[in-house]
Amino acid sequence: MNTGFSLYCANGYETNVTVVAKAKAAGCRYAFTSLHIPEEEGIDYRAETVRLLKLCKDAGIDLIADISPVTLGKLGITDFTCLKEFGITYVRLDFGFSAKETVTLSKRFHIVFNASTILHKDIIAWQAAGADFTRFTACHNFYPKRFSALSLERVATINERLKTQGFQTIAFVPGETYRGPLHEGLPTVESHRGDTGDKLVCDMLALYDAAADVVMIGDSDVSHEVWNRIRQLGENCLEIRAKLSPEYEYLYDRDQHDRPDSSEYFIRSQESRLWKDAPVYGPTVKPVESTVESVPAGTVLVSNSAYGRYAGELSIARTERPLDARDTVAGHVVAADMEFLPYLHSGRGFKLIR
């Protein structure tokens, strides 16, 4: 899963240095900045933009610069082609650009257009003007004003439509250090506004499920815990805390993936049946008599020898399920991490930790 974050000149260079370092450590591939924010005054945009670009380049991060006609004055340039001199390679066109101007710019830059507001007729106009869509990406707005953002369903519909035309899609979740002037978060989806911690990470996962290819933090920063989760998303290995019985502790700290043909009832580990170093309680575990008739969501199960070739398979119940005598209860996911289970599907990775 590709991740990103945002940088703002008004935050100050030292703050941005710190944020870039955190983002690099978390494996972020993209950064976003706006070069036409009305409230940002008294800033040497030309110098700050050069410094931001160098920060990102040194960290191996692609910086997407949001531009409009206002940008020309802020940077002291007369033509958008001059942006190339700054080292800018990705430009997001917010407003004020005709189809012809957009296609002309795409010959010099990778164009990032506004996925939230683009119409089919605009795409047709770009095609008519000779656009090469391999140089175009769709990035949603974020919405500082409360109750102005989109629904998750609306984002999914837009993304699916754009992806059928070959566009990469990007969306935002809010951060935990809010940017002014409203200080109410910068989400693409209204229901994500105000979320923090693991709930914010679930918002990112929800956007991936809504066909977003890249999910970025819209505000200025997040907590250490969220940065750590962002790293896990980038590595496709979400850490899930669980309490396992002593004989099943061999299940801790091993990379696993839900099967690509996901079950709506269980998370099924692809790797677990193949572990040859598992102790006697792994693939050769024997059936155990149990009076338990059902198990709650979050129960970790290991198939015992009565399951034949499925012996040793780890599964996690998504909902309360009847207990099959051929499965043995190995432990439970801790309550605080249960919210991640709906997002572990279709080949997504996870690791059980203490």
Please provide residue 18's backbone torsions phi and psi, each rounded to the nearest 5 degrees.
-65, -45
Residue 142's pLDDT is 97
Structure tokens at 354: 């203490």
Q: Report domain extents, the chain.
A: 2-235, 239-353
- Within this chain, domains 2-235 and 239-353 share the same CATH topology: no
Query: What pLDDT does 81 receive?
Result: 87
Question: How far, in Å, CA of 183 to CA of 170, rounded?
Answer: 22
Helix (H) or strand (E) holding 139: strand 136-139
Predicted local distance difference test score (pLDDT) of residue 283:
43
CA dist., res. 67 & res. 80, Å (int): 9
Burial (CB count <10 Å: 0-12, 13-18, 19+), residue 145:
exposed
Q: Is the pTM of this model over 0.85?
A: yes
Task: Kindly give the parts of the chain with pLDDT less than 50.
Answer: 280-284, 286
Which tokens go with 110?
A: 């990778």
SS3 30: strand
Q: Which residues of 106-141 are buried (b: 16+ CB within 10 A; e: fewer)?
A: beebbbbbbbbebeeeebebbeeeebeeeebbbbbb
What's residue 291's pLDDT? 59
What is the pLDDT, as a whole number, of residue 282?
44
Neighbouring C-beta atoms of residue 213, cutoff 10 Å: 17
Element (H, E) at 23: helix 13-25
**CATH architecture, domain 2-235:** Alpha-Beta Barrel (3.20)
Q: What's at 11, amino acid-wise? A: N
Among the CATH numbers 3.40.50.620, 2.40.100.10, 2.40.30.10, 3.30.70.20, which is that of 239-353? Answer: 2.40.100.10
**Which pLDDT does position 280 carry in this prediction?**
42
